[in-house]
Amino acid sequence: MNSVDASEHYEQAATDLAPALLTVIIDTNPHAWAQLEDSLSLSKAIANILVFINAHLACNYANEVAVVASHSQKATWLYPVHQDKDTTTSSDQDGDISMNGASAAAAAAAAQQTNKYRPFRMVEEQVNRNLRELMNSTTDNDLRLTTSTMLAGALTLALSHINRRTIAWAEAHGGADLEDTAANGAGGGSGGPGTARYSAEDDERLQSRILVVSVSGSSDSAHQYIPMMNSIFACQRLHIPIDVCKLSGDAVFLQQACDATKGIYMCLDNPGGLLQYLMMAFLPDQRSRRHLVLPTNVNVDFRAACFCHRRVVRTGYVCSICLSIFCEPPPGTVCLTCGTQLELGDYGAKPALLPRKKKKKKRVNGSAAGTPMSTPTPGP
C-alpha cells in the first residue's frame, strides 16, 4: 500500500516540465534603424530585448536563449558564439579562453558586475560585444549595396541551432527527437484523429520558439522569397511558432509566417514601449499560451503577386510546370519563367455557340419527336 503512494509521488516529481529555448532574431538593418531613430534607438531596443531575455531565463533555470542578428549583408550569431569565430588560435577548445580574448573594457565591466546572475551577464556581454563587432565590420560599401536584411539566413541559422539543441536535449533526457516528432506530426494543419498524441509528445521535448524583432519592410525581402518560405514550412513541420514584433513597416511574409506557425504577430503602434510589448505578449511559452487569449492578426494578406507585372491578383493563371503566377495568359502562351509552351485550356475561350444553335434549329425543324405539339408539322 505504501509503495503505491510513493510511486505516484515520485512520478509527479519526475515529469518535470521541459525547458524552453527562445531564439531571438534581431533585425539590425542600419537603414531601417536610422529611420526609427526618433522613437527608438537601436541601443535602447537592445537594452529592452536583453531585459526580456533575462525574464525568459528567469522563468526556468534550464531555459535557454540564442540571439541571431539579421544584418544587411549577412546573418550572424550574437549568442551563443561559436568557437571558430572569437578565438584567433584554432587549437583553443576551452570555452574560458574566449572570455580572455574580450577587450579590457569588457573585462573591467565584468568585474564590476560580479553580483549579476551569471547567465544574465554572459548573454549581455556577448550580445553587446558581438553586436559592436558586427557594426564595426559594416563598411559604407556594404550599406550602399543593399538595404534589405538577411532574414531567411537568420531563420535557417536559428533552426539549425534549435535542431542541435533538441537533439542534445533528447539524448540527455530521452525525450522525442525533433525529426521523430516531425515524422509523426507531419500533418500540421490537418487536425485529424491524432492531435492529442502530438501535443503530448510536444510537451516532452524542448520547447523552442523564435521571436523576430523586425524593422525592415516587406519589399526588401522579396528576393529571399523561396528560402524564407522553406524556413517557414520547416517551422510549421516542427511545430515551432514564429513570433514577430514589428517595429516599423509591414511584412507580408512575416504575417504569413506567424499565421502558418501559429505565432503572434504584433505591429507596434508605439515602438518606445518595446519592453512592455515584449513582456506582455511574447514572454509566455507554448504551454502557457494554450490558456491565454493571444493577440492574433486576423487580416493576413494572402493575395499573390503575379510574376509578370507584380500586380496583386485575386484570380490568376498558374503554370503547371513551375507554378509561376500570371495575371493574364502570357504572350504566346509561353511561360515566362520556365519557357514551356503551355496549353491555355478552356479559360480564355468563349463558349462555342454556333454549332449548338445549328443543332437546335435542326431539331426544331427536323422532327417533332422531342416536343409534343398540338398540331403536328410534316417532316422534310
Partner 1 sequence: MADSDEEYVGEVTDDEDDFQVSRTGPERRSKRRKQRGGAEWELSRTWETLVEGADGTISSTVEGLLEAGKRKRLLKDTTPLQRGIIRHLILTLDLSQSMSEKDLRPTRYLLTLRYAQEFVREFFEQNPISQLGVLGLRDGLALRISDMSGNPTEHLTAIQALKPQDPKGLPSLQNGLEMARGALFHTPSHGTREVLILFGSLLSSDPGDIHQTINTLVSDQIRVRIVGLAAQVAICRELCTRTNGGDETAYGVALNEQHFRELMMDVTTPPATDSQKQSASSLLMMGFPSRTMDSAPSLCACHSNPSRGGYKCSRCHSKVCSLPAECPACGLTLILSTHLARSYHHLFPLINWVEVPWRRASKSAACFACGIPFPPAPPENQWSMAEGHAKGMSVSSRYECTACKNHFCIDCDLFAHEVVHNCPGCQSKSTRPLEAQSDTAPAVDGMDTTV
CA dihedral 311, 313, 315, 321 (to 10 degrees): 60
For residue 354, what are the CA distances in angstroms to 348, 350, 357, 358, 362?
17, 11, 5, 6, 12
CB of 44 to partner 1, least distance (A): 27
Residues between 199 and 228 that touch partner 1 (CB under 8 A): 222-227
Q: Which of these segments, 242-250, 278-286, 299-307, 356-364, binds partner 1 (CB under 8 A)? A: 299-307
Distance CA 82, CA 145 (A): 28
Shortest Cβ 54–partner 1 spacing (Å) = 22
Q: What is the DSSP letter of 239?
A: T
- Which class for 160: exposed (0-12), middle (13-18), buried (19 or more C-beta within 10 A)? exposed
The CB-of-145 to partner 1 minimum distance in angstroms stands at: 6
In the set 51, 109, 110, 182, which binds partner 1 (CB under 8 A)?
Answer: 182
Contact positions with partner 1 (CB under 8 A) in 31-60: none
Q: Which C-beta is closer to partner 1: that of 80 or that of 284?
A: 80
What is the secondary structure of 174-212 as a DSSP string?
Answer: ----HHHHHHHT--STT--TTHHHHHHHHHHS-EEEEEE
Among the listed residues 17, 183, 200, 364, the single contact to partner 1 using CB under 8 A: 183
Question: Which of 36, 60, 138, 179 is the binder for partner 1 (CB under 8 A)?
Answer: 179
Name beta bridge partners: 334: 341
Residue 321 is a binding residue for partner 1 (CB under 8 A): yes
Those residues with Cβ within 8 angstroms of residue 110's Cβ, 6 or more apart along the chain or in another chain: 121, 125
Q: What are the contacts of 162-165 at 24+ separation with CB within 8 A? A: 162/21, 162/23, 162/66, 162/206, 162/208, 162/210, 162/238, 162/240, 165/21, 165/64, 165/66, 165/206, 165/208
C-alpha cell at 312: 496583386
Nearer to partner 1, 76 or 286 (CB): 76
Q: Which three cell numbers stand for residue 308?
A: 509578370
- Kindly state the smallest distance separating residue 160's Cβ from partner 1, in Å: 4
Stretch that binds partner 1, among 14-22, 122-130, 184-192, 359-367 (CB under 8 A): 184-192
Q: Taking each helix axis from N to C terminus, what angle separates 42-59 and 118-137, rounded to the nearest 10 degrees? A: 150
Give me 321's grid cell. 510546370
| 170 vs 266 by CB, closer to partner 1 | 170
Residue type, 342: L
Task: State yes or no: residue 242 binds partner 1 (CB under 8 A).
Answer: no
Binding footprint of partner 1, residue count (CB under 8 A) = 92
Residue 84 within binding range of partner 1, rule CB under 8 A: yes
Q: Rank residues 341 and 375 by Cβ distance to partner 1 and give the closer one.
A: 341
Task: Assess 17 for contact with partner 1 (CB under 8 A).
Answer: no
Instruction: Kindly calculate the radius of gyration of the chain based on its CA atoms and give it in whole angstroms.
Output: 29
Of 153 and 271, which CB lies nearer to partner 1 in the complex structure? 153
Among 36, 122, 234, 283, binds partner 1 (CB under 8 A): 234
User: Cβ closer to partner 1: 75 or 278?
Assistant: 75
Is residue 241 at the binding interface for partner 1, with CB under 8 A as the rule?
no
- From the list 99, 100, 61, the residue with the least C-alpha distance to 80 is 99
Rule CB under 8 A: is residue 305 a binding residue for partner 1?
A: yes
- Indicate the residue among 100 and 184 with the shorter CB distance to partner 1: 184
User: Which residues, numbered 103-142, are part of the site for partner 1 (CB under 8 A)?
Assistant: 142
Helix (H, G, I), strand (E, B) or coil at 95: helix
- Selected from 3, 12, 88, 90, the binder of partner 1 by CB under 8 A is 90
SS3 332: helix
User: Contact region for partner 1 (CB under 8 A) — 72-80, 279-287, 352-360, 370-378?
Assistant: 72-80
Q: Which residues, numbered 143-162, are part of the site for partner 1 (CB under 8 A)?
A: 145-146, 150, 152-154, 156-157, 159-161
Name which of 142 and 203 has its Cβ closer to partner 1: 142
- In the bound state with partner 1, the residue whose beta carbon lies nearer, of 48 and 125, is 125
CB 169 within 8 A of CB 206: yes
